[in-house]
Amino acid sequence: MSTFRLTLREPPAQRVDLSPLVPDRLTGKAAADIGAMELPCGNRRLRVDDLFTLSGTFAGEIEFAETSGKLDRIGGGMSHGRITVRGHAGAYVGAEMRGGLIEVHGSVGAYAACKMQGGLLHIRRDAGDFLGAGLPGDHRGMRGGTVVVGRNAGARTGDRMRRGMVLVEGNVGDYCGSRMIAGTIAVAGGVGAFPGMAMRRGTLLVEQAPPELVATFQDCGEYAHAFLTLLVRSWRGLPGRFGKLPEGRVRARRYMGDLANDGRGEILVWV
């Protein structure tokens, strides 16, 4: 399959919205037509070919090269195809994504995968705050799909999350899983203070015990959880560490909460 490559000419002075450059909106367009498309940039608009050098033919795959952290909303709302980012990306990567694959070889800014509904977002390095959360002012966070982070994620990871899976190979910041309604977050490193604050349902699976828990979580003790075998098995084929975990590790200490908010969520600490 041919790849349509967009190489950044120079870092932009202001933030640029790249949500128009998704497979859904480029199908059937020639390179000249794509180059003439306009992208929001501050209070003005930029032509694609003023910002990028274009090469190749679009046939379902897009590649952004030599990117900048000022390129926002990459893959926003996409439902199919593949986007590869060879460098860093800005905020809202994969926002409202419904399907397909986004692979970022660098780090991303805040609100990646916000309101995501399907597909796979693979971030090889770090993710900013509010990963898999809702858009500002929205009460609905991530509702499906899978996010894999190769290093660390910021504060409020999974805030208001409703469904889907977030897998972080490094550490996460404070308030991980805050106001979570459902879904699964797994963290191979450490978590910050007060994970699961105002959590109603869902699972937060961590490698290390949190340094500080909300007082309204109940310690239920340590025992075997058979479903962990099925959960680990479901990760087979995913990129990174989680796709290679052994299946036999089922013992975990369970904390139920947040008891002030329905109390049916759980924090599991692997032992």
Strands 218-224 and 251-257: antiparallel
What is the Rg, in whole angstroms, of the alpha carbon atoms belonging to the chain? 19
- Domains in the chain: boundaries: 1-62, 73-270
The model's pTM is 0.95
List 163's β-bridge partners, or say none. Answer: 143
Give 250-259 pLDDT, tens digit per residue. Answer: 999 999 999 9
pLDDT at 262: 85
Residues 6+ apart with CB under 8 A from 22: 62, 75, 76, 77, 78, 81, 83
pLDDT at 71: 97
DSSP calls for the chain: --EEEEEESS--SS-EE-TT-SHHHHTT--HHHHHT-EEEETTEEEEHHHHEEEES--SSEEEEES--TTEE-TTTT--SSEEEEES---S-TTTT--SSEEEESS---TTTTTT--SSEEEESS-B-SSTT-PPTT-S---EEEEEEESS-B-TTTTTT--EEEEEESS-B-TTTTTT--S-EEEESS---SSTTTT--S-EEEESS--SS--TT-EEEEEEE-THHHHHHHHTTT-SSGGGG--S---EEEEEEE-TTTTS-EEEEEE-
> The tokens of 247 are what?
């299946």
Residue type, 109: G
Q: Are 205 and 268 in contact (CB under 8 A)?
A: yes
Q: How far apart are CA 28 and CA 250, in angstroms?
A: 49
pLDDT at 121: 98
| Residue (of 213, 209, 217) closest to 193 by Cα position | 213
Give 182-212 pLDDT, tens digit per residue. Answer: 999 999 999 999 999 999 999 999 999 999 9
Q: How far apart are CA 55 and CA 74, in angstroms?
A: 18
> Exposed, middle or buried by CB within 10 Å (0-12, 13-18, 19+), for 11?
exposed
Residue 217 predicted with pLDDT over 60 = yes
Give 44-100 pLDDT, tens digit per residue. Answer: 999 999 999 999 989 889 999 999 999 999 999 999 999 999 999 999 999 999 999
pLDDT at 139: 87
Q: Are 217 and 194 in contact (CB under 8 A)?
A: no
